[in-house]
Amino acid sequence: MSETWTQYISICSPDKRSGYLSFCPEMPASRNHENSSICNNLWSPLVWHAICFIVRMMILPNCLRQPGYAIFMAVALLPGSMEAKSAGRKKLASELRSAQAGQSHQVIVQYKRIPGELEAAQLQRYGAELEAGLEEIRAVAATVPGENLEALADDPNVVAIWPDRAVSGFLDNAAPAVAADIAANYGWTGKGIGVAVIDSGINLGTDLGELDSGLTRVVYAQSFTRGGTADKFGHGTHIAGIIGGNGAASTGSFFTKTFRGIAPGVNLVNLRVLNRLGAGTDSQVIAAIQRAIQLKNTYNIRVINLSLGRPVYESYQEDPLCQAVAKAWKAGIVVVVAAGNYGRNNSAGNNGYGTITSPGNSPYVITVGSMKSMGTPWRSDDPIASYSSKGPTAIDHLVKPDLVAPGNKVISVLGRYGFLDMYEGTNIVPLSYYSSVSGTSKDYYVLSGTSMAAGVVSGTAALLLEKTPALTPDQVKARLMKSASKTFPTSSLATDPLTGFSYTSQYDIFTVGAGYVDITAALASTDLANKEALSPPVVYKDGKVYLVTSNSALWGESALWGESALWGESALWGESSVWGTSVLTSSNAPAGASALWGNSSVWGTNTTQAYSALWGENGLWADSALWGESALWGENLTISIAGEN
């Protein structure tokens, strides 16, 4: 059979862009037949395939009109047409399965291969507008008419289609509380380490420059949203100051306090994805992560800070944000993510458990919860912030957060003329607070949330990498977790300053993770993890929750990295622990699992309700009760501004 014929032997497929079936491909000019377009405008896929098949058998060469070939084609074509629709539908995220005709949807389309010209042409045929290439996860961002989504998903080269979901940011004494001042005394400042801040932008200012020359340490800037690279919200600049502010604007003879970040020598890479209201999309964040990977060697980017997130809709293995952060991690970049500010959420009877946001639900990244520094430079009186999101993660049930760090009422660099500065001026730090001069500060601002706590850990990671450049992301994560302070009270009470409501927090593994980050201990540590430091899963069985370990996991393989060393006995078991009489091992435990959550757990006498909320058939993972229909941004902004007493 000639190459020309091979090129034109193809199975016709429905054109769902326009609601009717496409014409059969035309034959070469020497063998063109009018009958080759007989399939046009037929509505039934079965009838259409049958007629297409008959026409092809009439006009194809004799060698293809053999009985065996006809039987094969009949069997292959007809049943396949019935299954295609359901197969394509399964590739659509649940939110897209009810897409209406006439409405366009911003989506992320993932392919089996890195998309190129063929995929771009296909999108155009379906009336889609290509927005951005997301090669790191073999995907594109595009706007697609609702009536064509299922047809696009039918393509065998398409793996999945997700909505381009909205993400938002999670909105003095933080540095001393984690011993950053001691690190500075030893000369560790993060110098030479690049930290990519994927946020609302970074405004250039005194505190983000070189102390001696005044030259900016923001070495690169790019925006993935409209409006340039400046911070028009005020969140990203604040985070950048926590990570690497040098305190220049509060240094001098008449200043009584100096506000330095954790690693005041780092270089900052400004990748703006959040708009003037602090909102962005999955595709913008993924594009920024992709850019950070591309610039890794140019600016020695060793850390990415993601003080943003959104609800979890699918397993981390399928979530496009989680796929992107895993790519960065495997490229040698430590990824630090805010846990989320939903620890007070009890809408599913869950007492705030199971509220970790994406991409903090990735087992690779360092997910950070928020502590309250209580206005003192020592950590002994610091409680957990009740709004700090708790694990285990939705769907995959991973232990999160990994660490906690100061995040409540943190003073850092003011993003001047941004939304927060212009509309929430009450949080501007008065000059009288840190100098002998009265008046209004133009340099510093107070914000609260796990966003701020993530910035603390990003700065800490930069210090470790300056001291020991050869550390891998897994080694940084494991060292920070093992060296973290594990001394906590059993519980604490907090009050919302706006509502007056009180919240009780327990200090279990799903609230504080491996502990309170301790920079001095981390810098003194010489431990080297030799396996992946993936956050482990937990399982529920017979009224208890168990920590699962595996041969490929770091945790539990030896005394050095055992559960007790990582999370501390008070977080897991023991007479004085919140886990009551639960023990490390149990005759009823699944193979390779250790008991965490017993019948005398943090839930008290309400265990049945709590277990049902987290693992029951109608519980947290089964519906949308946790997140509700209201926007997440409003709650985040309230916590960011007011913090917690």
Pairing of strands 308-309, 166-169: antiparallel
d(CA 338, CA 356): 9
Helix (H) or strand (E) holding 57: helix 45-59
d(CA 92, CA 125): 19
Query: Does 397 qualify as catalytic in the annotation?
Result: no
Pairing of strands 301-306, 334-338: parallel
Q: Which of 49, 164, 172, 235 is catalytic?
A: 235
Name residue, tokens 């604040």: 238
Residues in a beta bridge with 109: 140, 161
DSSP string covering 312-348: --S-TTT-HHHHHHHHHHHTT-EEEEE--S-TT--TT
Closest listed residue to residue 520, CA positions, set 265, 181, 191, 173: 181
d(CA 491, CA 195): 35
Work out whether the CA dihedral 167, 172, 173, 175 comes out positive or negative. Answer: positive
d(CA 430, CA 427): 9
Q: Which of 199, 231, 402, 496 is catalytic?
A: 199
d(CA 590, CA 223): 48
d(CA 167, CA 92): 20
Cα dihedral 96, 100, 101, 107 in deg (nearest 10): -30
Start-to-end CA distance of the chain, whole Å, equals 80
What six digits make up the tokens of 541? 């069985």
Q: Residue 94 phi/psi, 5° resolution?
A: -55, -35
Work out whether the CA dihedral 60, 61, 67, 73 comes out positive or negative. Answer: negative
Q: How far is CA 245 from CA 172, 221, 239, 278, in A?
A: 12, 17, 9, 21
DSSP character for 213? T
Q: What's the full length of the chain, in residues?
A: 645
Please, are residues 366 and 403 in contact by the beta-carbon 8 Å criterion?
yes
SS3 call for 242: helix
Q: How far is CA 406 from CA 242, 355, 359, 402, in A?
A: 10, 19, 20, 14
Query: Does 451 qualify as catalytic in the annotation?
Result: yes
Q: How far is CA 241 from CA 115, 244, 264, in A?
A: 38, 5, 8
Q: Which amino acid is residue 603, in one-letter code?
A: W
Residues in a beta bridge with 367: 337
DSSP character for 351? T
Closest listed residue to residue 171, CA positions, set 645, 633, 495: 633
Query: Does 199 qualify as catalytic in the annotation?
Result: yes
Q: Which of 386, 451, 483, 582 is catalytic?
A: 451
Q: Which residues are catalytic?
A: 199, 235, 451
